[in-house]
A = this chain, B = another copy of it.
Amino acid sequence: MPIFSKPLRVHFSPDKKLHQSLRNILGFYPGNIALYKSAFRHSSAASHIKDGVKDSNERLEFLGDSVIGTVVADYLFKKFPFKDEGFLTKMRSKMVSRNQHNTIANKLGLNNFIERDTDRRGMPSSINGDAYEALIGAIYLDKGFDFAQQFLLTRIINVHIDMEEVETKEVDFKSKFIEWAQKEKKDWTFETAVDGNAAADKLFTIQLIVEEKVMGSAQHFSKKRAEQMAAEAACVLIGI
C-alpha cells in the first residue's frame, strides 16, 4: 500500500485534522498518532505521569537526536568516500547543530504544531529544533529506522540542507561557546584592551573570561575576529 493513501482509521480518528496536517508536511500518514502528539508537547504543557517524569517531548528528543546523528553519519560516509573521520565529524556537527535544526523546524512550520504553555513568555528559539528532533524520534518508533532514514534523506537533507554551504561554512565559535555556556550555566565575558590610537591600527586584545578564569585570548585588528579566535581557543580547551 503506498504510504500516501489515506488509511481507513484516519477517517474515524478524533485526530483526523492532525493526521491530515502531518500528512501535508511529512508526506505520509502517521501510524501511532500518540507518538507525534508527544513529540510536539513542550515540557511547559506537559503533565506528570509517574516518578516526576512528564509526558513532554524530551525523551523523544533524546532518541531522535541520536537517529539523526546516525543517518547523517551514514550519509556523509557514503558521500565522501575519500575523506577522513576528522572531516566527517566536523561536517556532521555542522549538519546537526542547534541552529540547523531550528532552521529546518521553521521551514517545516513545526511551530504550528507545538503545544506549550502560552502564558509563559520568552521561550527559547530552540523549542522548535527540539520538536524537530522529537518528531524524528516519533517517526523512528512509528515506522522504523529505514523509513526514518528515507524521510531524512528525501525530505530534509536533499531539500533543506545546502551541502556546499555546509562544507564551506566556517564554524561560528562564538555562538558555539555561548551555546555551551548557556547550557552549562556559566558566567562569562569578553574583556577588551585596545592598543593604538589611530582607527587604522587599533589592535584589540580580547580575553574570554569564564567564571573568573581566562579560557582563551587573541589579538586582531578586527574586534569581531579577535572574539572568534578567543572563543575558538576556549572551545578547544573545553573540548567542544
Contact = CB atoms under 8 A, between A and B. Distances in A.
Contacts of A88: 59, 62
Interface centre among A140, A180, A237, by most chain B C-beta atoms within 10 angstroms, is: A237
Main secondary structure of the interface of A (DSSP, over half): helix
A213 interface: yes
Nearest to A236: B184
A61 to B, nearest CB: 7
Nearest to A137: B77
Nearest to A184: B239
A183 B210 CA distance: 22
Contacts of A184: 236-237, 239
B85 A74 contact: no
A180 B85 contact: no
Contact of A73 (B66, B180, B240): B66
A196 interface: no
A53 B70 contact: no
A92 to B, nearest CB: 8
Contacts of A146: 144-146
A180 B240 CA distance: 11
A58 B73 contact: no
A236 to B, nearest CB: 7
Nearest to A180: B239
A83 interface: yes
A49 B82 contact: yes
Nearest to A214: B213
Interface string A196-235: 0000000000000011011000000000000000000000
A175 interface: no
Contacts of A149: 145
Q: Which of A49, A51, A82, A180 has the most CB of B within 10 A?
A: A82
Interface string A86-99: 00110000000000
Interface of A: 49-54, 58-59, 61-63, 66-67, 69-70, 73-74, 77, 82-85, 88-89, 140, 144-146, 149, 180, 183-184, 186, 210-211, 213-214, 236-240
In the A-B complex, the 6 residue pairs with the closest CB atoms = A145-B145, A66-B73, A62-B85, A58-B85, A66-B70, A70-B70
